[in-house]
Structure 1
Amino acid sequence: MSTQAKEPKPAAGRATRLTVLSRGATAANRLPRFSADDPLLPGEQARLSELAHSLGRFHPVLHAPERSAAETAAAFCADAASCPALRDADYGQWTGRTVADVAERSPEDLQRWMADPSSAPHGGETAEAVRARAADWLDGLHAKGGHTLAVTHAIVLKLLFLHVVGAPLTSLRRIDVEPLAMLTLTSDGRRWALRGFGAPLQGRR
């Protein structure tokens, strides 16, 4: 059962490590469509069990509030904590609609949204706003110590990657992230450094 996220205690003199995991596949990945609060697809639990066994233990384990993220996190920790900062982007009136439907009905709005990170023709969040709240959360984890697992959504993972490497938001559409892809970071208490990005790791050292 999920609980509200609690800040890990500072650990002086210890490096902080963070693994950000894109939640398992849902119906939105198959169509494709703008995410709603969908459950994981049948069969994802088997993939998750294998991945959790491969990667070992994390503490703490956090997840976005959506059902798919909570179900993904449960494979790693029975009492994983919900973290609002990790929530999916708000797609406003596009939520639950297929990309093809939006492209047919509102092609100019879709093109503008894809080209301009400050735009929100759907009435929800801009990419800039999602990056800002995710980056604020990330930068609050410096010097916490330990190895945290954070289960979120592909767009949040991509925006955290851009934040860490200092890349422009216009690069967002050039990055593909599959379900269960990972971003692994380390912090020396002052800055985050990229350790790994891409497909699920086969284990950790």
Structure 2
Amino acid sequence: MTVQVMLISPALNAALREARFDGDAPLDAAGARRARAAAAAVPAADRQLRGPSERCAGTADALGLRTGPEPAVRGWDMGRWSGRRLAAVGGEEPEAVSAWLTDPSAAPHGGESLLELCSRAGRWLETLESAGGGAGLRVLGVVEPAVVRAVIVEALALPPEAFWRLDVAPLTLTGLSGRSGRWNLRCGQPLSPAPAG
């Protein structure tokens, strides 16, 4: 059975603009406005879901999606670094940040390692094949950029280090189609035209 997975990265908020680790905060006015403007470009799906963060919830609402949180696609658990600025943590704990960036099994923050995040994303992806009941399934989700990147790493069997080389812009659609062990990627489609200016 072929599954189509469409993942939308949420709109910007203050925490993302400030480069905070997993800064779970609601959308600001600009992020909500951009998400509402993109609502007409959201593709149809058999199943809709979102990550549990406030940013994913606000984006899903602004896009007109009415769905509850899916714990399996929650954002990356940054442990004691959650909500802190990358620059501050890097200044206080440079060796820990270096380990986090270079060793996929490291979790100096006490949360999930990169390997654990990717493994969780891969398990979720595998569950979708059985959820289709033998027919093609189209799944649409609003999930944090780290989850999009982890899903890509797992689907394409990339080395975990490739995670750091994948950029996921706000309000873009990343698509995967296929089945376990055989996925094709379509990445980075904007949901609406770039603003003029």
Moved >6 Å (runs of 4+): none
Q: Which residue of 2 aligns with 1:54?
A: 41
Whether 1:83 and 2:74 are equivalent positions in the alignment is no
Identity %: 31
On the 8 A contact 1:61/1:76 being kept in 2, the answer is no
- Aligned equivalents of 2:125 and 2:4: distance in 1? 11
SS of structure 2 residue aligned to 1:118: coil
1:129 pairs with 98, 103, 116, which one?
116
Q: CA deviation at 1:161?
A: 0.6
SS of structure 2 residue aligned to 1:161: helix
Whether 1:196 and 2:183 are equivalent positions in the alignment is no
Whether 1:146 and 2:133 are equivalent positions in the alignment is no
On the 8 A contact 2:119/2:154 being kept in 1, the answer is no
Q: CA deviation at 1:63?
A: 0.4
Q: Which residue of 1 aligns with 2:176?
A: 185
On the 8 A contact 2:4/2:138 being kept in 1, the answer is yes
Q: 1:141-165: per-residue Cα shift (whole Å, max 9, x none)?
A: 1161332111111111101111111
Q: CA deviation at 1:191?
A: 4.2
User: What 5-or-longer segments of structure 2 have no aligned partner?
Assistant: none
RMSD: 1.9
What TM-score does the superposition give when structure 1 sets the normalisation length?
0.84
Q: CA deviation at 1:170?
A: 1.1
On the 8 A contact 1:60/1:80 being kept in 2, the answer is no
- Aligned equivalents of 1:125 and 1:46: distance in 2? 32
Higher helix share: 2
On the 8 A contact 2:42/2:63 being kept in 1, the answer is no
Q: 1:32-78: per-residue Cα shift (whole Å, max 9, x none)?
A: 11123210121222222232202343332100111111111123445
Whether 1:162 and 2:162 are equivalent positions in the alignment is no
Q: Which amino acid in 2 is paired with 1:80?
A: T
Q: Which residue of 1 aligns with 2:4?
A: 17
On the 8 A contact 1:142/1:191 being kept in 2, the answer is no
Q: CA deviation at 1:18?
A: 1.2
Q: Which residue of 1 aligns with 2:19?
A: 32
Count of matched residue positions in the alignment of Structure 1 and Structure 2: 189
